Amino acid sequence: MGTTKWAITEGTVFKHKRDIRVIIGSGNFQSGIIRPKGENDVLLFSNPTSAETYGYSDREGMQEDGTYLYAAQGSNGDQVLTKGANKAVLETANNGGILRLFVHNSQGYQYVGAFGLADKPFIQTATNPNLYTFCLVSQGADVRILNTTAEPTRTTLHAQPWTPKTTDLANIPEKHYETRQAQQVEHVLEKDFGAWLIQQHKELEDLTIRVSNVDIKPDIFNSTDAEIIEAKASETRGYVRTAIGQVLDYVNNVNHCKQATNREHTHVKAALLLPASPEQDLVELCSELSIRIYCRKGSAFTELTSTNL
């Protein structure tokens, strides 16, 4: 810990919280968020069963990008981030403290490991009352512990008819990695592109890929052409680099999934959907990686190549 050497290894299970207190030496172990006296490290205790029972399971748990959401403290009225345990969590971003996550399971409380706050440290998940959740990223934690299934899970696929996402800003939930406004731009782009593909008699699906007990979902799956399409709100370098990593991850998992051998197309291809043309070197990079790029052209869309910039 900050001034005391951390003595608990990842995977260690404690039957009771009080057993942890024997090692730590101080702190209110009745709380889910604990900062031991004189330390900057903060202990976080997550209980999936309680989250389900008390209705905050959608605000706590592993996300598809590897971020772990942890619901802020406060069960009555507005949650406050400027004092108490919630403040202690946010202060770790500047005081060198580590967020140490324990998860409750059938054996007791198991230490997952060290986490830090994400670039966007929290999101507001509700108003009236105001509710928040912290966004955590692993710093060497054993995140395999967060897979709650007893047996190793196989990658599986589930497909259903494609449905455009909402473009109403008020109904778009805040995400830890993207603003509502950016999501709205992306959703409009997806909706228009999907309608354009359907006009060309393409069959579209919403695809859910189950990987290591986490669902990851591409934006559009064009099942007619066996093409996974990842949309982004901007054609700038940061967005394109992120999209490349995402779409290759989707394609890799689908192509290695045993269920894919039973589908009409066993080899799925990658594509990006952007509002405009990115830099030429990014177009050439996508070409080298066999990733198609689609972007708007008037009221329609076009496939972009290095020769038609």
- Please name each of the domains of the chain with its CATH number: 13-146 (2.30.280.10), 156-304 (3.40.1350)
* d(C-alpha 289, C-alpha 93), whole Å: 37
* DSSP-derived 3-state class of residue 67: coil
Q: Residue 260 — very low, low, confident or very high, per pLDDT cuts 50/70/90?
A: very low
Which letter, b or e, does each residue of 9-35 get, where b requires 16 or more Cβ atoms within 10 Å of its Cβ?
ebeeebeebeebbeebeebebeebbbb
Q: Contact, 124 vs 132, CB < 8 A?
A: yes
Q: Which amino acid is at 253?
A: N
Q: pLDDT-based confidence at 136, cuts 50/70/90?
A: very high
| Region 36-49 average pLDDT | 89
Distance CA 202, CA 138 (A): 40
Residue 265: predicted pLDDT: 52
33-37, 253-257, 258-262 — which is least confidently predicted?
258-262
Residue 304 pLDDT: 87
pTM value is 0.70
What is the predicted pLDDT for the residue at 171?
A: 86
Nearest to 108 by CA among 18, 212, 26, 42: 18
- Is the pLDDT score of 154 beyond 80? no
Vertex 302 angle, CA 218 and 183, to 5°: 40
Sort strands 214-216 and 131-138 into parallel, antiparallel or unpaired: unpaired
Lowest mean per-residue pLDDT among 182-186, 194-198, 226-230, 245-249: 182-186
Q: Which helix (H) or strand (E) holds 297?
A: strand 291-297
Q: How confident is the model at residue 3 (pLDDT cuts 50, 70, 90)?
A: very low
CA nearest neighbour of 186 among 234, 246, 221: 234
pLDDT given at position 76 = 82
- Does the pLDDT value for residue 259 go beyond 70? no
Q: In this predicted structure, what is the pLDDT of residue 262?
A: 53
pLDDT digits (tens, 9 = 90+) for 102-112: 999 888 999 99
Share of the chain above pLDDT 90, in %: 57
Q: Which residue has the tokens 């998860």?
A: 103
The residue with greater pLDDT, 43 or 260, is 43
Amino acid (one-letter) located at 73: Q
pLDDT score recorded for residue 177: 72
pLDDT at 28 over 80: no
